[in-house]
Structure 1
Amino acid sequence: MEERRKLFIRVGYSVILIASLHVCLCSKFNDNVEEFHMVQDKSFSNVTIYDMNVTCGNHRPGMFPSQTWTCNDIRVNGMRMAYGYYPGLGADTRCTESGGFDELRQLCHKLMESIASNRQLWGAQVSNASCDYTEENRVMLNLSKSGYYWKTMDPGYGWMETLQCVAFPKDDSFPFP
């Protein structure tokens, strides 16, 4: 029993020593890490894009490492936007009706243009979506040889709740490559 107690004490001291060493080393190396500021996102106003009315619901603010505009409860002429994956990616197979095709980047570009943002679009992201079935018709922005157009889809699986448009950082202080 005494041997067991000594073993536990040695293991305990070893764990404390390793943890202390970790803290010391991390604090030494973190001195060189630059801090960056988080920015609260903004909401979009309702706007007409390609002859359809894009509306956003109540804004729920969040913090991001670069300027971000958010459209919660996004609707196009009252319809939800379709959401889905490319078939075969191993994702929820119910959520492939759209084939993963959409032009969210162009939609973000047009939304940012509508608020006279001079920031360059870095990316469009769907931060809240569902693969559940909806009884509502859905819509998605597509591109053809003649330009962008809204495609109406029947009720089905996959719709998005929140679209976020992220701008490039203003300077080179952004911590990620």
Structure 2
Amino acid sequence: MEKFKITVVRLSLGVILIASVHVCLCAEQNSHVEEFHMVQDKSFSNVTIYDMEVTCGKHRPGMFPSQTWTCNDIRVNGMRMAYGYYPGLGADTRCTESGGFDELRQLCYKLMESIASNRQLWGAQVSNASCDYIEEKRVMLNLNLDGYYWKKMDPGYGWIETLQCVAFPKDDALSFP
């Protein structure tokens, strides 16, 4: 009977030791949670890019994981920017007049350059667009062998309301695994 009590006590102490080690390891693991900084976006000023005036309207600021600039109600010489998908790949079959070709990344690069941003462009994203028909001429930035140019398009399906330009996170603000 005495050996049984000693075995039970040892087993209980072993279980308590294992549970304590588990709790300590979990606490150590959970203490290494990275901070995630959110940054309020800014808007662009009106600027001339490739001989056309790009204008941005007012926008409601949002929070982003990296510095972001927003151009809401974007227009080029008063025209809406065309929007669309590659034919056969998009969610809306009407929204293919642009063929999915545009140079939004270059537009963001030039917009960021206009505000003297020293941040590297991470990406250009259209956060608000429509595939509805618009009874206005539209425009899109394209590239050919001679360089970038604005292509004017007739009224049709697809236009951009909001373009956002996102900068790479600063090294000290966000780390990638």
| Same fold per superposition (TM over 0.5) | yes
Shift of 1:100: 0.5
Aligned residues: 152
Indicate the residue corresponding to 1:141 in structure 2. Answer: 141
* 1:1-177 aligned within 5 A: 30-171=30-171, 173-177=173-177
Q: Deviations over 1:35-70 (max 9, x none)?
A: 111000000000000000000001210000000000
Shift of 1:172: 5.1
Give the structure with higher Rg (CA): 2
In structure 2, C-alpha distance between the alignment counterparts of 1:30 and 1:95, rounded to whole Å: 47
Relative to the length of structure 2, the TM-score reads: 0.81
Moved over 4 A (4+): 27-30
Shift of 1:176: 4.5
Structure 2 unaligned spans of 5+: 1-22
In structure 1, C-alpha distance between the alignment counterparts of 2:78 and 2:141, rounded to whole Å: 15
Q: Structure 1 pair 152/30, CA: closer, same or farther in 2 (3 Å)?
A: farther
Contact 1:39 1:64 in 2 (8 A): yes
Relative to the length of structure 1, the TM-score reads: 0.81
* AA in 2 matched with 1:111: L
Structure 1 unaligned spans of 5+: 1-23
In structure 2, C-alpha distance between the alignment counterparts of 1:91 and 1:176, rounded to whole Å: 31
Contact 1:44 1:70 in 2 (8 A): yes
Contact 1:36 1:175 in 2 (8 A): no
